[in-house]
Structure 1
Amino acid sequence: MHFKHPEFLYALFALIIPLLIHLFQLRKFQKIEFSNVQFLKAVSLQTRKSSNVKKLIILLTRMLLLACIILAFAQPFFTNDKDFDAPQELVIYLDNSFSMEAKGKKGPLLKRAVQEIAEAIPEQQLFTLFTNDEVFKEVTKKDVLNDLLQIGYSPNQLAYHTAYLKGKQFFSKNQESNKNLVLISDFQIKQNPLEISFDGAIVPKLIKLTPESKNNIAIDTLYLERNKNNDLTLAASVSSTNLSSASVPITLFDNDKLIAKSSVSFNEQAVQKISFSLKEGQDLRGKLVLQDPMLSFDNTRYLAINSPKKIKVLSISGSDDAFLKYIYTPDEFILTQSNLNALNYNTLGQSDLIILNEIETVPVTLLNALKAFVASKGVLCFIPSVKGNLKDYNELLNQLDATPFNALIPAENLITTIHFDHPLFKGVFDKKIDNFQYPKVKSYFPVNSTRSILSYTDERTFLYNHKNLYVFTASIASDKSNFKNTSLIVPVLYNVGKESLKQPVLYYQVGKLNSYDVQIPLDQDEIISLYSEQETIIPLQQNFTNKVRITTDETPTRAGMYTLTKGDEFFDHLAYNYGSSESRLKYHTLKPGNDYTVADTISLLFDELKENNRVQEFWKWFVIFALVFLLLEILLLKYLK
């Protein structure tokens, strides 16, 4: 038993007062003469015994009456929790990721969870609730009820261990308080095994919400490819969590205009490919839509195809560079060729890629211009000459923080190693090959680089990459090497050119780091915005001489079609889509242990918390007992003889 006001218990010492009065009560006796003393003595003895019993009973009722009054003021109560008098703290993590849109017995998991939380939490209970993208700190239900009912789905989900650590931060530093951390989620499998590394300081309570059905169909990826007739097609990878013969319609829109329609079924395979024909050079603000009632976020994928911007390539040559015309063709590139003596330095800042093709010296003016060009994110490709000035070459490489050359070795060497994992070869080879016809050089500058792209037999470097710089260590002139005659030269130089201007792709993923270049001239105070019907953002942007590099990370937050704008001017269209990891409806099996406990439902968990903190008060009973003893005393005084 516990007391709300234990200080009143000191009043129990007052019970000694009626006891003392009873023990030391003095009476004066009066003598009365009587003829027969024998009868008088007997009556006197009988009266004194009955009088003492009556007085003791009345004394007891009075002391019990007084004790009950004192205990009623002290307000005694019982509780199920031994730490009932400690402050109660409640923190709730509510997973609002896209997978929580799945339907449970009483509707979508997230909406049902919000409703049960609103019903279970007491009106005056202070609590903190956080989701994947919002925090409601130290509030009551009345404060945030409307906000809770309007919680939307988020493309991001906190890792469960991260949610645990974040939840711990919302508790006070009071060591004596009861800290209740509740994690509510469907506990979808995203890593295996389940990573919840709790430290034991706070044992969380996990509530797993399970959908009735785990059938879901999703559009996973979109990409462009050529069919067997070399026609351009849009390919989509569509997956289902269940095999089914039912046909699912898929529709392709350009803006809101229907341009193609097809269907897909999953009789034998859970992943199917579907293709749509496109026109060459077609600008497309596309949207691919399928009909599936389970999850809605993965039923739509946006895509944007813009007219590609031509990449500006400047070749500064000391020898024949005619071969570049066959690599940098006019449909994708603007190639400008010049020798060193006739070079217009104003063209350097307007280029995306500069190729130093076997010039023998590097003048200081050119060195400084190239250093500024690379610093502004331009790409430089350096091909040395066997007659080149080693001091000039190394001065250029040192200024660009690249690996310098050693003295020329006039010996033949074979190029035998392709570093397939380098981004320059992404999508070039279907598989690793080791029996190709090895190119060779007749002389080379020995270099050992950790960033090799192509290497010799002796593991020295033929081509390496350092940031925006690509360096050949040997001449590729026809009389010095047969590299021009091999199949490697085209993908190498072509991809170097493509890397110099990062063109927008079909779509980007919301919440991921994305970067691309746009050829938009900007004045000093001008900015580029991303505009859509849902939101307008100002992305991170770096302004260079001939382009602007756009970087997005945490924004935009919603999938859709966006437009690059500068003031009232509209430029390229960009598509953003949500990731597809939430589409896989597979869930962890929770095994309660020392690290965490598991509750079946939200309502049962909160009922348990209420039961542990429930207080049973008894002051009313002691008031009733006091009245009973008062009534008993009156009856004793009146009727007990």
Structure 2
Amino acid sequence: MQFKHPELLYALFLLLIPIIIHLFQLRRFKKEQFTNVALLKKATLQTRKSSQIKKWLILATRLLALAALILAFAQPFTSPQSGAKKRVETVIYLDNSFSMQAQGTKGPLLKRAIQELVATIPEDSKISLITNNEIYRNTSIKAIKNDLLELDYTGSSLSTNEALLKAKTLFTNNSSSIKNLVFISDFQDNDNDFQFIEDKTLKLFPIQLQPESRNNIAIDSAFIEKENSGNLSLHVRLTDFDKSGNTVPISLFDQGNLIAKTAVEMNETSEAIFTLPDNQPIQGRLSIDDNSLQFDNTLYFNINKPPKINVLAINGASDSFLKRIYTPDEFNFSSTSESQLDYSLLDAQNLIVLNELQALPVALASALKSFLERGGALTIIPSNNTEIKSYNSFLTTYGLALNSFNNSEKRITKINYSHPLFRKGVFEKQVTNFQYPRVNEYYELSRSQGASALEFEDLKPFLIDSNKLFLLTAPLNEANSNFKNSPLIVPTFYNMAKYGLDIPSLYMIIGQPNRFDVKVKLGQDDILSMENKGHSYIPQQQYFNTKVRIQADNIPDIAGIYAIKNKEETLEYVSFNYDRSESRMNYIDISSLKGSFVSNSIEQIFDTIKSETKINALWKWFVIFAAALLIIEMAILKYFK
């Protein structure tokens, strides 16, 4: 038993006063003389004993009654917590990722959780609550009730460990307080085991909400392939996580108008193919009907009229292979010799190719450095008699340097498939055995602080990239190499040009690093915006002479097709979709999670928390006990003879 006001217990010393009075102020008996008192002796003795007992009983009841009143004013209580007087902090993590769209026994998991929170937690109880994209510090259910009822799903998903760390930041640094963390989620298996280290100052209450069914069909991805007939093939990949074998209709819309529809017989992974006209802009939307998760039933994409990429070759050797790659339908290709170079042309280029120049003049090196700083891409192909010193004064700025010329033959055998040049749309699968190109002579590198895209058989770089500077370590003339005849030549140089103007892809994924270029010349103080049906964003952007580089990592947060605008002028469209990692309905088994009280009921968890921190006030019982003692005293005075 504990006391709210223990200082009042000092009043118990006052009980000594009536005891002292009782001991020192006893009533004396007066003797009276009678002629014959023998018959009265027995009655006299009995009367004295009865009077003494009665007085002791009255003293005891009064002392007990007074003590009970003093204890009542000290407000005694009991609690299961040893530190019942400690501050109690409650933090709630509510998972509002897309996997919580799944249907439970009482509807969507998230909506059920919100309703139970509102109904279970007392309105004025102090709590802190976080979701994947919102934080409510030191508030109450009453204050955030409307926000909770309007809470929507978000594509900003957190792993269980990330959510745990985020929730812990809402607790104070008070080591003596009782900390309760209520973790409400479906605990989706995202290849990241839920790790909770037992902590005496923190109690974890995981609540796992699980759907009735784990059936889900999702539009996983889409990509474009060009056909010889001038058409495009749109390949759409669908995933059936339950392997139901059902037939699913899929519809293709352009600006809201249905332009094609087909049915796909589902396996674990299936594909639908649509034929689209080439060079026709499309603001596309793919859609299926599936009653499970809704966010992955739609995939947005767009095909813009591609801007032409400006490529300039500064030649010291034949550029015929470059002309075959940089065709007029996609590129504005121009070439010149170093002696006839117009330096004013450099600012307008997206890619500059130094094609086997013997030396790199200081003026050109300075101009190329400024060109790279403005976001352009540069490819350097050395010659057989390169003046290494003139090149290295430029290359060392980018962590590269040529060394001696090695006249031993080498084969190009390794492709770095993770390099941006080859990461997307180049290879259907990794090739380990192909017709290896060769070089007769090559340059060793004394510095190679970059990412190798292609390597020789001894793992020395053939093509290395450092901050959009692509350096080949061997001349490509026919006397030295057959690389021009290799199938690798086209995707390699084609994607180098794409590096100079990063055209938006078919679609981008929300929450991932998204960077693209918009070919436009802006006026002073002009900025680009992204707009879609009332949603408007101003992304992070960097202006160069002929383009604007947009970095859209954290925005937008809603899937759709967005117009890139300069004031009222629409320049092009970009599409954003939610990450499909939430589509897989696999869940972690948390039943054996140590140091926690696992449940699937919000009401049960909060009843447990309430019982562990509930204070049983006892002062009313002491008041009743004091009143009962007073009644007993009155009864003794009246009826005790």
Q: TM-score, normalised by structure 2?
A: 0.93
Please give the residue correspondences for 1:378-527 in structure 2 after superposition, counting only pairs within 5 Å: 378-398=376-396, 400-409=397-406, 411=407, 413-421=409-417, 422-426=419-423, 427-429=425-427, 430-436=429-435, 438-441=437-440, 443-447=441-445, 449=448, 451-456=451-456, 460-527=460-527
Q: Secondary structure at the match of 2:203?
A: coil
Residues in 2 aligned to 1:568 and 1:491: alpha-carbon distance in whole angstroms:
37
User: For residue 413 of structure 2, what is the amino acid of its counterpart?
Assistant: T
C-alpha displacement of 1:437: 5.3
Q: Which moved more, 1:546-555 or 1:378-387?
A: 378-387
**Aligned match of 2:268:** 270
Residues in 2 aligned to 1:37 and 1:198: alpha-carbon distance in whole angstroms:
86
Please give the residue correspondences for 1:229-628 in structure 2 after superposition, counting only pairs within 5 Å: 231-266=231-266, 269-398=267-396, 400-409=397-406, 411=407, 413-421=409-417, 422-426=419-423, 427-429=425-427, 430-436=429-435, 438-441=437-440, 443-447=441-445, 449=448, 451-456=451-456, 460-628=460-628
Contact map agreement 2:381 2:476 (CA 8 A) in 1: yes
Identity %: 43
Residues in 2 aligned to 1:462 and 1:361: alpha-carbon distance in whole angstroms:
20
Contact map agreement 1:219 1:238 (CA 8 A) in 2: yes
**Aligned match of 1:636:** 636
Structure 1 residues 522, 479: closer, same or farther in 2, change over 3 A?
Answer: same
Residues in 2 aligned to 1:582 and 1:120: alpha-carbon distance in whole angstroms:
29
Aligned residues between the structures = 636
User: For residue 274 of structure 2, what is the amino acid of its counterpart?
Assistant: F
Describe the superposition over 1:377-409 as per-residue Cα deviations: whole angstroms up to 9, x where unpaired. Answer: 2111222333443433333323x4253333445
Contact map agreement 1:227 1:233 (CA 8 A) in 2: yes
Contact map agreement 2:175 2:201 (CA 8 A) in 1: no
Describe the superposition over 1:291-333 as per-residue Cα deviations: whole angstroms up to 9, x where unpaired. Answer: 1121111111100110011111111113332332211111111
Residues in 2 aligned to 1:51 and 1:176: alpha-carbon distance in whole angstroms:
57
**Aligned match of 1:101:** 101
Describe the superposition over 1:200-251 as per-residue Cα deviations: whole angstroms up to 9, x where unpaired. Answer: 6523111111111111111110111246977412111111222335432221
C-alpha displacement of 1:9: 2.2
User: For residue 123 of structure 1, what is the amino acid of its counterpart?
Assistant: E
C-alpha displacement of 1:89: 1.0
Contact map agreement 2:365 2:394 (CA 8 A) in 1: yes
Q: TM-score, normalised by structure 1?
A: 0.93
Residues in 2 aligned to 1:517 and 1:318: alpha-carbon distance in whole angstroms:
31
User: For residue 401 of structure 1, what is the amino acid of its counterpart?
Assistant: Y
Matched, 1:151 2:135: no
Structure 1 residues 619, 361: closer, same or farther in 2, change over 3 A?
Answer: closer
User: For residue 345 of structure 1, what is the amino acid of its counterpart?
Assistant: Y
Residues in 2 aligned to 1:41 and 1:199: alpha-carbon distance in whole angstroms:
78
Contact map agreement 1:413 1:457 (CA 8 A) in 2: no
User: For residue 393 of structure 1, what is the amino acid of its counterpart?
Assistant: Y
Residues in 2 aligned to 1:327 and 1:228: alpha-carbon distance in whole angstroms:
17
Contact map agreement 1:415 1:454 (CA 8 A) in 2: no
Q: Which moved more, 1:131-140 or 1:193-202?
A: 193-202
Residues in 2 aligned to 1:72 and 1:457: alpha-carbon distance in whole angstroms:
90
Contact map agreement 2:404 2:443 (CA 8 A) in 1: yes
Q: Secondary structure at the match of 1:323?
A: helix
Residues in 1 aligned to 2:32 and 2:479: alpha-carbon distance in whole angstroms:
158
Describe the superposition over 1:474-528 as per-residue Cα deviations: whole angstroms up to 9, x where unpaired. Answer: 3333445443344333332222222221111110001110111111112331111
User: For residue 187 of structure 1, what is the amino acid of its counterpart?
Assistant: F
C-alpha displacement of 1:548: 1.4
Q: Which moved more, 1:534-543 or 1:9-18?
A: 9-18
Contact map agreement 1:518 1:548 (CA 8 A) in 2: yes
C-alpha displacement of 1:457: 5.8
Residues in 2 aligned to 1:95 and 1:459: alpha-carbon distance in whole angstroms:
47
Q: Please report the RMSD computed on the Cα atoms of aligned residues, expressed in angstroms.
A: 2.3
Residues in 1 aligned to 2:3 and 2:77: alpha-carbon distance in whole angstroms:
6
Structure 1 residues 226, 197: closer, same or farther in 2, change over 3 A?
Answer: farther
C-alpha displacement of 1:560: 0.8
Contact map agreement 1:312 1:351 (CA 8 A) in 2: yes
Residues in 2 aligned to 1:639 and 1:458: alpha-carbon distance in whole angstroms:
115
**Aligned match of 2:176:** 176
Q: Which moved more, 1:22-31 or 1:290-299?
A: 22-31
Describe the superposition over 1:181-204 as per-residue Cα deviations: whole angstroms up to 9, x where unpaired. Answer: 111110000015444455665231
Residues in 1 aligned to 2:342 and 2:524: alpha-carbon distance in whole angstroms:
25
**Aligned match of 1:12:** 12
Structure 1 residues 388, 226: closer, same or farther in 2, change over 3 A?
Answer: closer
C-alpha displacement of 1:532: 1.1
Q: Secondary structure at the match of 2:398?
A: coil
User: For residue 436 of structure 1, what is the amino acid of its counterpart?
Assistant: Q
User: For residue 396 of structure 1, what is the amino acid of its counterpart?
Assistant: F
Please give the residue correspondences for 1:35-54 in structure 2 after superposition, counting only pairs within 5 Å: 35-54=35-54
Q: Secondary structure at the match of 2:625?
A: helix
Residues in 2 aligned to 1:531 and 1:458: alpha-carbon distance in whole angstroms:
51
User: For residue 7 of structure 2, what is the amino acid of its counterpart?
Assistant: E
Matched, 1:81 2:81: yes
